[in-house]
Amino acid sequence: MATPQSYAQDDSDDVPQLTLPQAAALVLERNPHLQSAQFGRNAAEARLSAASMEPQWSVSLDVEDFLGTGPLSGLDGSESTLRLSRIFQPDEARTGRMAVASAIGGQTDNLFEAERLDVLSLLAKRFVNVVYEQETLRLSEQSVKVWGAARALALTRERAGAAPAVDRLRTEIRVANANLAVEDTEHELKAARMLLAATWGSSTPDFGRAGGSLCSLSGLPPFEVLAARIAQNPDLLRFATEQRIQAAESQLASARQRPDWSLSAGVRHDALNDEQSLVFSVSVPLGAKSRVEPSRRQADALASQSALQEEAFEMEVHARLYDIYQEVLHTVHEVEVFDSEILPKARAIRNEIEEGYSVGRFSHAALLSAESELLAAAGARLDACADHHRLLIDIERLTGGDSTWLTTDGEGTP
């Protein structure tokens, strides 16, 4: 992508447009938060490898009865024992550790997926904001032309002696305000572009125009279809992962009710008599069942708590989804009303008053009112279109990211 030297270059034909899928690819490739998530996955894999290991063997050397008094003053009366020992655990304990480590790895994946959706949702909203500011700038520039044309009409009537100078002066005020709006929108667009580039870790907006048609509204499936997708929400899946972790912890606690046996065997050397003998020992902890029982109860209690939290969270997401769904339907209806009723009637009124004003059938105030109504309706329509896409992004986040990207068709003038 070419680097624009000024915003004026963004509109040129030789600078490639940036589409939302292209921006998403940049984010997935460059975003520092998403790149760091791989280290979390590596840590989870290492944790699973560590949990699968068997207890290791150990070697010990015991030396007794030396550097004392009398016959034990040196090393001649010492006893030394070389031992080889190891803890033997039930197979269920190793299986339980691996289950816990695997469930924690699944939790890491859920957290990464939630962060990935958060970043992509932020990207999509910032992309919508850039497209919105581009269209707002277009409307602002159009309003300058509209008020310039109205000023020309007022000047013509003033020169003909059919209108006072104040009509022209009032229109020139509108022209000045429109130019200020253009300048303000240009600043807003530059800031929006900078925020969009920052989403994939760039300090400069090295892209052309953001290609998208805000008022190409996407159709919505029935609410029941969207509600069924709530199960894909990674925040909801997190509760299921927590329950798997607690179930694995409970299983591990149950396995630990069978105590670990510590066995050791070795050779003892009696330096005083220059004799060797074998040694063998077994160590079994007592009361293992009573000690692990609280851990098992704790895991079971946390699993039950997580199940109730999951139910409450799912109900909250369902209600939130329904609320957003109704708002999306409202934005669709708004745009339909603007396109079928408000804008056509506003254009017809403006056209008739423009024609009548030039021959004195309508006042200058009526002309200003008609132009203002049309420009306000065009701006309100654009606001409704932008709200539509922002709400769709929220729906995608709640339903696990079944992406609905903006189209790349051009936006016509109102």
In single-letter form, the type of residue at position 17 comes to Q
Instruction: Choose between 97 and 171: higher pLDDT.
Output: 171
Asked if residues 278 and 268 have their Cβ atoms less than 8 Å apart, the reply is yes
pLDDT tens per residue across span 137-149: 999 999 999 999 9
Mean pLDDT for the chain overall: 81
For residue 297, give Cα distances in angstroms to 101, 195, 306: 20, 49, 14
pLDDT at residue 110, rounded to an integer: 74
What is the rounded distance in angstroms from the CA atom of residue 381 to the CA atom of residue 369? 18
Measured from the Cβ of residue 278, the count of other Cβ atoms closer than 10 Å reads 8
**Domains along the chain with CATH numbers:** 18-55+101-256+305-398 (1.20.1600.10)
Say yes or no to pLDDT of 6 above 50. no
The whole-number pLDDT of residue 74 equals: 61
| Choice between 47 and 207, residue whose per-residue pLDDT is larger | 207
Residue 305: its pLDDT value, please?
A: 77
Q: What are the pLDDT digits (tens) for 54-103? A: 777 788 878 776 665 556 566 666 677 778 887 766 666 667 767 777 77
Q: What is the pLDDT of residue 287?
A: 62
Burial of 327 (0-12, 13-18, 19+ CB in 10 A): middle
Residue 217 banded pLDDT, cuts 50, 70, 90: confident
Tell me what the mean pLDDT of segment 235-246 comes to: 74
* pTM summary value: 0.76
Highest mean pLDDT among 50-54, 159-163, 373-377: 373-377
The strand order across the sheet containing 275-283 reads: 58-64, 79-88, 261-270, 275-283
Which sign does the torsion angle of CA 197, 202, 208, 211 carry? negative
Location of structure tokens 């031992």: 83
Residue 8 — very low, low, confident or very high, per pLDDT cuts 50/70/90? very low
Per-residue b or e along 191-209, where b marks 16 or more CB atoms closer than 10 Å to that residue's CB: ebbebbbebbeeeebebbb
User: Please, which pLDDT band fits residue 405 given cuts at 50, 70 and 90?
Assistant: very low
* 3 vs 207: CA distance, rounded Å: 6
Each residue of 300-323: pLDDT tens digit? Answer: 777 787 788 878 888 998 999 999
pLDDT band at 372 (very low <50, low <70, confident <90, very high): very high
Q: Give the tens place of pLDDT for each residue, 312-370.
A: 888 998 999 999 999 999 999 999 999 999 999 999 999 999 889 888 889 989 999 99
Which whole number is the average pLDDT over 379-405? 85
By three-state DSSP, how is residue 218 classified? coil
The residue that leads in pLDDT, 240 or 353, is: 353
